[in-house]
Amino acid sequence: MDFQVAYWLYLLIFFSGLGIVLRLSVPIAYSWAPILQSLSILIIALVGLKLGPSWLFALVGYSLIVLIYLNSRSFYVGLQGSINALNAEKLHKLSKRARDIYWGKGGEFWQDMAEALALFIELKEDDANKLIDKWQMQVDSMPKEIRHLPGNYQLIGNALMRKWEKIVQIYEENTTRGIKTENPTILLPTARAYAELGEFEKSYQCIVKAKLEESQFPLAYVGQSILPFFALAGARKETEKLLEVLDKDKNTFPQSLANYWRGQSLLTAGDTATAIKFFEDAKADNPSKEFCQRVDRQIEKAKNRESELQSFHPDKLKHVNEVWNIFVKTDFVLAVVNPNRKSVAVLVLFILNTLVFLVSDAYEFPGLRQFSYTSVETLAGFTTYLIESFGLIPKLALAGQYYRFFTYSFLHANLTHYFLNMLMLYWFGRLAVNIFGTPRFLAIYIFGGFLGGIAQALIKPDELAIGASGCLMAAFGAVLAGIFRLKDRLPRSIWNAQMTLLISLAASQLLLDKIIPVVAQHMAPKILPSIADLAHLGGFLAGLCFGLLVSPVPSKITDKFIDEEAVSMSDPVLFSLSGCEEKDESAKD
């Protein structure tokens, strides 16, 4: 059996077995369906190892994982997008689909949550609360991960019905009674309610208590959560900055909602004519009856309001700037620890590695080598030629063919070797770009691979080496050093978690470099080449030293905004608040 295909089946066995073990601690009513899914994948992998063809069973197993993930992701995106668009009809449809996606008790839970949210939008409060209360009464028997959701969705339901006073009342009563209210999922809807009531001081305090910079919530979620604060305060510059970020995800944040909040910020600022135009655009982009009814009420309010620039209070201006700084800090943290952004440098390196792999190793794809075509044999010979000409053959490299210290990193032994390296490039490459910037990342990548190759050649002069692992271990080492140096700029909890994770990964890699060759030689000595462990270690140490010597320059999505005048007071026409009063009655609807 091809070791690399067996490797993927063993991974299926490991992760499906781990999934079963982890779910044993969850109440059986909620866990039996995920356990059954993991068990199915486990059986597929075991049958593939026993009967074959192994590549076919690996394909089926991983396809099943992707299908489960995509179904769950589709439901979540649909839920969030429907809430934002006030699309009750789509929520009703999602409710009917929930049991097909989440089986058993979990399916029943999500069916009721989606249905309750639809009923809230339709202002059928009693029917919605019956569904929520049903789960509130059994919250102690629910998995810990979802125990907060019924209460959270009840808060969201009150927000959908625009019952801001009720949200505030519940929060203040719970605070008075000593009930824990520090969860961001409680604080953020409450901050919205306070802002809708014109109480920006209390709204600001809720946002501060949420500790968004420590939450590691996606930036889009953070942006959506604090957008009402800026729009209802009339902070037009900050509103536009957030909308530019949120505009990247039309599935969960539709254009109609963006136009609504633009209109709201303009209405608060006193530019009623332009506000009405954006409200009309919002209606045109959203067919939801409930959404259009609520926008109509805003339009009516705007028509009855005098069009004049409102005054603003310095304290509220200060809070706007401080909340914006929270967003910037949150973005900074995410840029360092969660690289969900594109990088041209990483993309180019990925394309180059992929093209070389397709040219040199396409015949190695699982299932293809069983065909004894002459062309396959020719391709195999071409691969041998490439490795002999450009791989790291220590004696030739040290004798003057120095280009081998660079070219070896674009060659890979097989599909598994290539895939794991590209996965590492995708994650740690983007992290290194975020922390050090593109030019420094490229320097780390290129010279880390070069120095790793030299270490391999000097200490193991008789072993061939190919692959981008030395370059990527350099990026990994630089990321470790970079995060270490950012100790004073990252929240302590985030810094501790990241350092623990990265050090554990480094130790695991050193251990695997010793274990994998032993296992491979036992199972398939002629298939898998030896591990270039010295290239790994040399690249890692080179990246670590680079990261300790060169200052991090974390890139942020907000950089282009920070260069502008961040303080809104610099342009009073673009920023205004609804006056010195603590309550603005016009903001309640």
User: Is 495 inside a domain boundary?
Assistant: yes
Q: How confident is the model at residue 304 (pLDDT cuts 50, 70, 90)?
A: confident
User: Is 44 inside a domain boundary?
Assistant: yes
**Per-residue confidence (pLDDT) for residue 371, from 0 to 100:** 47
Measure the CA–CA gap between 539 and 532, rounded to whole angstroms: 11
Looking at the fold, whether 63 and 192 belong to one and the same domain comes out as no
Residue 266: give its domain's CATH number. 1.25.40
Decide: 326 and 212 in contact? Cβ < 8 Å: yes
> What is the chain's length?
589
pLDDT-above-70 percentage for the chain: 84
pLDDT at residue 220 tops 80:
yes
For the segment 417-440, what is each residue's pLDDT rounded down to a tens digit? Answer: 888 899 999 999 999 998 999 999
Looking at the fold, whether 19 and 95 belong to one and the same domain comes out as yes
Q: What is the mean pLDDT of residues 15-44?
A: 91
Looking at the fold, whether 180 and 52 belong to one and the same domain comes out as no
575: which strand partners? Answer: 235
Decide: 118 and 95 in contact? Cβ < 8 Å: yes
Measure the CA–CA gap between 431 and 428, rounded to whole angstroms: 5
Torsion of CA 185, 186, 188, 194, to 10 degrees: 160
**Per-residue confidence (pLDDT) for residue 535, from 0 to 100:** 84
**Per-residue confidence (pLDDT) for residue 26, from 0 to 100:** 87
Looking at the fold, whether 267 and 318 belong to one and the same domain comes out as yes
Instruction: Name the 3-class secondary structure at 235.
Output: strand
Q: How confident is the model at residue 240 (pLDDT cuts 50, 70, 90)?
A: very high
Measure the CA–CA gap between 434 and 557, rounded to whole angstroms: 10
Kindly tell me the sign of the dihedral angle through the C-alpha atoms of 351, 356, 360, 364: negative
For 462, other C-beta atoms within 10 Å of its C-beta total 7
Count, in order, helices (H) and strands (E) of the chain. 28, 0
Looking at the fold, whether 152 and 11 belong to one and the same domain comes out as yes
Looking at the fold, whether 373 and 473 belong to one and the same domain comes out as yes
Decide: 230 and 258 in contact? Cβ < 8 Å: no
User: Is 261 inside a domain boundary?
Assistant: yes
Looking at the fold, whether 144 and 208 belong to one and the same domain comes out as no
User: Is 318 inside a domain boundary?
Assistant: yes
Question: Which one of 297, 330, 363 terminates a domain?
Answer: 330
**Per-residue confidence (pLDDT) for residue 342, from 0 to 100:** 80
Measure the CA–CA gap between 409 and 417, rounded to whole angstroms: 12
Looking at the fold, whether 510 and 373 belong to one and the same domain comes out as yes
Looking at the fold, whether 249 and 368 belong to one and the same domain comes out as no
- Which residue, among 544, 487, 414, has the nearest Cα to 6 in the 3D structure? 414
- Which residue, among 536, 419, 534, 407, has the nearest Cα to 477 in the 3D structure? 536
**Per-residue confidence (pLDDT) for residue 176, from 0 to 100:** 86
Buried b / exposed e along 3-32 (16+ C-beta atoms within 10 A): bbbbbbbeebbebbeebbeebeebeebbbb
Lowest-pLDDT range, 343-357, 372-386, 527-541?
372-386
* Lookup: tokens for 368: 């293809």
Domains contained in the chain, number: 3
User: Is 571 inside a domain boundary?
Assistant: no
Looking at the fold, whether 321 and 368 belong to one and the same domain comes out as no
Decide: 476 and 543 in contact? Cβ < 8 Å: yes
Instruction: Name the 3-class secondary structure at 441.
Output: helix
Question: Which one of 122, 140, 161 terminates a domain?
Answer: 161
Residue 367: give its domain's CATH number. 1.20.1540.10
**Of residues 26 and 180, more confidently modeled:** 26
What is the separation of C-alpha 74 from the centre of its chain, rounded to a whole number of angstroms? 15
- Which residue, among 523, 511, 406, 537, has the nearest Cα to 468 in the 3D structure? 406
Question: Which one of 263, 298, 330 terminates a domain?
Answer: 330
User: Is 219 inside a domain boundary?
Assistant: yes
Q: Which DSSP string do the residues of 524-581 spell out, in sequence order?
A: -TTTSPPP-HHHHHHHHHHHHHHHHHS------TTHHHHTS---GGG-TTTB--S-S-
**Per-residue confidence (pLDDT) for residue 115, from 0 to 100:** 96
pLDDT at residue 566 tops 90:
no
Q: How confident is the model at residue 52 (pLDDT cuts 50, 70, 90)?
A: confident
On the question of a cis peptide bond just before residue 254, with omega within 30 degrees of 0, the verdict is no
Measure the CA–CA gap between 281 and 375, rounded to whole angstroms: 60
Tell me how far apart the terminal alpha carbons of the chain are, to the nearest angstrom. 67
**Of residues 455 and 382, more confidently modeled:** 455
Q: Which residues contact 243 (CB under 8 A, 6 or more apart)?
A: 227, 258, 261, 262
Looking at the fold, whether 179 and 167 belong to one and the same domain comes out as yes
- In angstroms, the Cα distances linking 574 to 234, 252, 301, 326 are 8, 27, 21, 21
Q: 66: domain range?
A: 1-161
Looking at the fold, whether 310 and 421 belong to one and the same domain comes out as no
